[in-house]
Structure 1
Amino acid sequence: MLKGSLNKLGNAVVLLVAVLVLNFTLIHIAPGDPVEAIVGEMGGATPEMIEQMRAQYGLDQPFIVQIGTYLGNVLTGDLGMSTYYGQPVTQLIWDRIGATMLLVITALMTAMIIGTVLGVFSAQKRRSILSHFVTVIALAGFSAPVFWVGIMLILLLSVSIPLLPISGMTSATSEAGGIAHVLDVLHHLILPALTLATIYLAFYSRLARASMLEVLGSDYVRTARAKGMPQRLVIYKHALRNAILPVVTFAGLQFGQLISGAVLVETVFAWPGLGTLAFESILRRDTPTLLGILFFSSMMVVVMNVLTDLVYRIIDPRIKAR
């Protein structure tokens, strides 16, 4: 087990370094200049000031020197300084990560729980109205762009029926603390989390349904039924434990996609997380901040893959360390 864990850790480090190099290269060759973006925000600058700024951010160095310096700084935990905000990128990410993780985890858990429940029920009655309903919801979820779902929910639940706030994480006029503040945040969280969860709920419902149908046709389920075991016990003790394995696997693998999808959702709802920060960094050509967000997202994907493997082993002890 120790050898397998060390191999996975080594592969993860190599993968992260490759992602860093690729991201840095792609952003470096993309059109635009961070210094020109800063000068545009300032309203202009002299050629001497522009050259000084390029030297300050190391942009006057050859590409190989720039990427070598950046990799060395990342190894020490230094993601650089934001060219727009003038703050350490690490601090910017730390300030925004709480909002993004709250949104992503809420959306993921909502999609997993509701999607799995719908999939299990529809698998038990594959020709029922519920089964057809799950199929329609899945097709709609796969087809609808996430930003369109967000706009439709705003029109329905904020404009036509003013139940939920349109944007932000808290009310602009609210100065409450404690429970009142938590409830205010949860009130603002409903729409963006529901928007992000809708897309993945469709996937998990179909995945859970397909997996449950396969498990229900297995020999050990038929044997349990032949012994006279109650249907509920067969479903929730024997079948569900194995049917949920693919759901757990894809939940871990798609965690990074949820962070990527949060970019659009946070932009639509002005949610103050990493997605909004990434969008602003792209518009303002804030290369260090954008690289930091991409690196953090990649690291989260790797961590979630490791955690998924551990959860997989807990759910199914038959799996041995490799």
Structure 2
Amino acid sequence: MRILSLAARRLAAALPALFIILAGLFLLLQLAPGDTVDALVAQMGGSDPTMIEQLRKHYALDQSTSVRLGDYLWRLVHLDLGQSAIYGKPVAAVILERLPATLLLMGSSLAIAFAAGMALGVIAARRVNRWPDTLISTLGLVFYATPSFWFGLMGIFVFAIYLGWLPAGGYGSVGAGLTGIAQVLDIAWHLILPTLTLALIFLAIYLRIMRTSMLEVSNLDFIRTARAKGLRDTKVVTRHILRNALLPMVTLIGLQAGTMLGGSVVVESVFALPGLGRLAYESVVQRDLNTLLGVVFVSALLVIVINFIVDMLYARLDPRITAGH
């Protein structure tokens, strides 16, 4: 019951946050120069004032900001994200087409970064101030300090162009007509480079956090007591140190969810992946307000869901977390 109460409180707190994010972004976009009609007219090479006025009425841009904000929020309550000016179809349909690529990229990158960061952090903490610790910490610093787009470009140059081992981009082989397991393997093959590119930066963060957390927990009284009882070192590490050291790592997953979505914009652009990040970039360039707000809405929902799952996992890992705290 305490877990359910905690879940209800987290969900209740998420709704106002989602409203503030969307309303704030909507108002900020009104301050940006240009709008959807300006972008469409520029693509057509110009237009007469009458057509421009009709387009503004069609996209409801002739109304006041407050009226358009109220209309958008009302449509959002009914899960109506509006019509995309770029693609000429509902925003929800466009996002559903792009969502699988982003989810696959984020999920695989997060899994690799978390698992490898945890393993390297444990090794570094177990060999503190020795050459494995120095090597792992140095690599972590290099990965953290290097921009993701540079990793992507170098990965394309080395593994796609020079060695020819991996595809340079895309979400699958164009015109191959693959289905079933062959299509799944083809998509996985194309996602190797973008996944590693996005994972390297977060791997550096996780290994540094895991190393620090392992060293901190190792000096606590209950660990000394466990060692004094004669427990084997491996058992002390796996059953006592590791479980408590994982708490900051689990928390970091929720904090990094939004950052990872932001990083996917760069990675998807470099590797030409048809995901939400690239869609957001195209929406900004084309001034497609409905599509951009739809991407932000889905992205905010993803971050809220991930943080909700993290809160529940944290409550399971740490019994001190209750509904009253």
| TM-score category (smaller protein) | over 0.9
CA distance in 2, matches of 1:85, 1:163: 35
Report if aligned partners of 2:6, 2:322 keep a CA contact under 8 Å in 1: no
Equivalent AA in structure 2 for residue 258 of structure 1: M
CA distance in 1, matches of 2:88, 2:150: 34
Moved more, 8-17 or 159-168: 8-17
Note the C-alpha offset of 1:3: 5.0
Query: Which residue does the alignment assign to 1:19?
Result: 21
1:207 equivalent to 2:203? Answer no
Query: Which residue does the alignment assign to 1:254?
Result: 256
Q: Which one of 28, 33, 36 corresponds to residue 34 of structure 1? A: 36
Report if aligned partners of 1:34, 1:287 keep a CA contact under 8 Å in 2: yes
Q: Which one of 229, 242, 245 corresponds to residue 243 of structure 1? A: 245
Moved more, 89-98 or 297-306: 297-306
Query: Which residue does the alignment assign to 1:73?
Result: 75
CA distance in 2, matches of 1:33, 1:3: 44
Residues 102-131 of structure 1, C-alpha deviations (whole Å, 9 max, x = no match): 000100010000001000111011022221
Residues 16-70 of structure 1, C-alpha deviations (whole Å, 9 max, x = no match): 1111111001111101121011122233322211111111111000111011111
CA distance in 1, matches of 2:30, 2:282: 18
Query: Which residue does the alignment assign to 1:104?
Result: 106
CA distance in 1, matches of 2:5, 2:163: 57
Note the C-alpha offset of 1:210: 0.2
Normalization by structure 2: what TM-score?
0.96
Report if aligned partners of 1:100, 1:275 keep a CA contact under 8 Å in 2: yes
CA distance in 1, matches of 2:15, 2:175: 45
Gaps of 5+ in 1: none
Note the C-alpha offset of 1:83: 1.2
Q: Which one of 186, 189, 197 corresponds to residue 187 of structure 1? A: 189
Secondary structure, counterpart of 2:73 in structure 1: helix
CA distance in 2, matches of 1:242, 1:248: 11
CA distance in 1, matches of 2:224, 2:6: 36
CA distance in 2, matches of 1:210, 1:129: 17
How many residues get paired? Answer: 322
Note the C-alpha offset of 1:4: 4.2
Query: Which residue does the alignment assign to 1:234?
Result: 236
Note the C-alpha offset of 1:315: 1.8
Secondary structure, counterpart of 1:244 in structure 2: helix
Secondary structure, counterpart of 2:151 in structure 1: helix
Residues 242-287 of structure 1, C-alpha deviations (whole Å, 9 max, x = no match): 1011001111221121111100000000011111111111111111
Secondary structure, counterpart of 2:178 in structure 1: coil
Moved more, 38-47 or 229-238: 38-47
Query: Which residue does the alignment assign to 2:218?
Result: 216
Equivalent AA in structure 2 for residue 62 of structure 1: S
Secondary structure, counterpart of 1:321 in structure 2: coil
Query: Which residue does the alignment assign to 1:64?
Result: 66
1:271 equivalent to 2:273? Answer yes
Query: Which residue does the alignment assign to 1:83?
Result: 85
Query: Which residue does the alignment assign to 2:303?
Result: 301
CA distance in 1, matches of 2:243, 2:62: 58
CA distance in 1, matches of 2:156, 2:132: 27
Q: Which one of 103, 123, 130 corresponds to residue 121 of structure 1? A: 123
1:169/1:161 CA distance change after superposition, 3 Å: same
Report if aligned partners of 2:5, 2:323 keep a CA contact under 8 Å in 1: no
Note the C-alpha offset of 1:294: 1.1
Report if aligned partners of 1:266, 1:276 keep a CA contact under 8 Å in 2: yes
Report if aligned partners of 1:253, 1:304 keep a CA contact under 8 Å in 2: no
Query: Which residue does the alignment assign to 1:150?
Result: 152
Report if aligned partners of 1:134, 1:206 keep a CA contact under 8 Å in 2: no
Report if aligned partners of 2:7, 2:312 keep a CA contact under 8 Å in 1: no
CA distance in 2, matches of 1:318, 1:16: 28
Equivalent AA in structure 1 for residue 212 of structure 2: A
Gaps of 5+ in 2: none
CA distance in 2, matches of 1:4, 1:320: 7
CA distance in 2, matches of 1:132, 1:171: 41
